[in-house]
A = this chain, B = another copy of it.
């Protein structure tokens, strides 16, 4: 096994790959965490969308907090035309909300309301195969967890999810909620970060009376990476990181 064999997966986030020696190590599951509105969904979808559009790596997006149609509309504000890439079989969106809330769905990929981990993984596996996906996004872990009705099993489920994603060889982004990162709580269940191979924190810092966004790579296995806080913005083209900017 050679030392520098680590292949890189481009994130599709301008400025970000410079912080991690050119991209995510191949086959990595990355946890994107932060408080509400910090940009997790945008980061994750941008990773999927740009992968499909720029690097020809098809992507599956599992949306568990809003319906596929709502996500599409939202992402259109960044000029991202998910529908087109879906037609081209470069993107597949799995609607994990409609069934739970009891609304009919005309989506191609729909998760059932009553979910167990095995079925969930099997379904995802199928969709990944269907478009030969190289990337996968699951938004979000707490939305899986609350469906389990037994939160004590979360650690087990995350271990399972993480290992199987590794086995599938897709580069994955999972999102989770970090109610208060400044006080050391960087994930909803206090354990998501231990299971994932990479952890990217999106957060705010208050500067005078304004909140400023910053990004911090808390962990990224198989690679050297910066441990600085970098400013980023959510622009009308999506997330842009400023590797040379100042946070404070």
Contact = CB atoms under 8 A, between A and B. Distances in A.
B36 A103 contact: no
A159 B97 contact: yes
A59 to B, nearest CB: 18
Contacts of A214: 209
A129 interface: no
A183 B182 CA distance: 10
A57 interface: no
B218 A37 contact: yes
A103 B219 contact: no
B229 A210 contact: yes
B37 A219 contact: yes
Interface residues of A, number: 81
Contacts of A179: 184-185, 190
A113 to B, nearest CB: 10
A196 to B, nearest CB: 8
A155 interface: yes
Nearest to A36: B193
Interface in A1-34: 1-3, 5-6, 25
A2 to B, nearest CB: 7
Contacts of A204: 227
Contact of A65 (B83, B159, B247): B159
A184 to B, nearest CB: 3
A211 interface: yes
A156 interface: yes
15 contacts: A1-B73, A36-B193, A36-B218, A70-B166, A77-B223, A97-B159, A101-B163, A101-B164, A102-B118, A179-B185, A209-B228, A209-B246, A209-B247, A210-B229, A211-B228
Given A97-B163, A100-B159, A210-B229, 19 more contacts: A1-B76, A3-B79, A5-B76, A25-B77, A36-B219, A37-B220, A65-B195, A67-B166, A70-B163, A74-B221, A100-B156, A103-B167, A142-B155, A142-B194, A179-B184, A210-B227, A211-B228, A213-B227, A224-B234
